[in-house]
Structure 1
Amino acid sequence: MKNQDFLKREELENFLTQNGIRIDDYIITAMDVSTEIHSGIKREDNQSPFLETHIWPVTRDIVKHYLTVNRSITSVEIVSSILHDVMEDNDRILDLYKTKEYGFDAYLKYRFGIRVYEICMDLKIKPLENYPGNNDEERQLARFHDYCKGLSSADYDIKVIKLVDRENNMKFISNMPKLDGNLVSNKIKRYLREAEDFYLSFALLEPAVKDLYLKLRESYENLKLLNNT
């Protein structure tokens, strides 16, 4: 796919192996679950597969960050990266697990442990109706402020996942060949506003992640150019 970061599962596995990371059953199961939940989902261009342009590239880039800063990385961080978006697709989860005796939350805790479950829940965007406001715009702002409050005190692993996740989303939009429609236009404006209000400074707050800041800044500048055209 032209201009887009496209990574197959096999390529992610090769990347992990080449960097001395053993792909154990824990990681394989996480990949299988993520594939089951995200398979067939397309991104904003209605063409690019979510797994190959988001989940696998985000996981690779998170591992790259840990290697770059010489910080140890375990299967827990890798699995959390692979599963970071699984709680977002509620309809798919309900459909896949409605015939089982247990819910997906219980399965996530049982199969991957409480830490992975907590990370997935902390990264989950809460429903808009949970927040006060006279209209959706006010509720979205209240939700964003609440989400930022949680991230500002989050552990290092959550901080890295969220920044890499956001940078991937911004970069994907900026590399789309066509930017038609209000959905994409509104998303560009929201990404710019949220980067200015929080994410750029968040990357520099201790513990600072300057490599991720530079990538986020580049994607921000590219989006800003698109917004001005």
Structure 2
Amino acid sequence: MMTILIIEDEDSIRDNILEILENEGFNAVGASNGEEGIDRARFYRPDAIVCDIMMPDMDGYGVLQRLQENPDTARIPFLFLTAKVHRADQRLGMELGADDYLSKPCSPQELLNAIRARLKKQRRYLAELDEEHRRALQLKQRMQELQQQSHSHEELLDRLSEELRSPLSAINMAIAMLKSSLSNVETQDPEAFRARQQRYLKILQEECAREMAILNEVSSLKEVLKGSRLSN
């Protein structure tokens, strides 16, 4: 059930409006002056507020300004109901943030139509706000996923880079040892030379195999990164 706050200093008018709203299925709350209206707005958080302008101590403009200063009440639809019909008064109310301006006297149907129109607009606004919030959350989640993927890819590339250095170092060392062995082949024992040669060749074969495995990982990573870019 939607709650409508009526801020009106004239008891008879306030009671009539409360009765009209209750008969239409609203939860109607009344306040007899501006300060009381502000307190009840903060307490009830109504779905809409209908407020008179000409009131003692604090007029309707002052009420609207106070409510606009509070984030909890600033977005509540606010309708002025007043005998002040000058265009300058209406403009002032709109500039302060009023959503509608009803002149006294108005029929019950005019009042109800104005309230329902504001409530409908507010529901649409809240639905759009929820949708924007949902989109923002989705975007944030997607950015986090991309960031996490980026970090994972960077870590993998760093690891592959380190692993590539290790077999290259071993290959260079084996080549150097093999060259040294070949340079002194005439002075070496043939059997010992062949054994050392086989050992160095085995090192080269093993490290070349490691190198190829790592290069295959790089190729796989390249395909993953390519797929990520296409999906984005």
Structure 1 length-normalised TM: 0.23
Instruction: Work out which of the two has the higher radius of gyration on C-alpha atoms and give 1 or 2.
Output: 2
Which structure has the highest strand share of the two? 2
Structure 2 length-normalised TM: 0.22
- Higher relative contact order (Cα pairs below 8 Å, separated by 6+ residues): 1
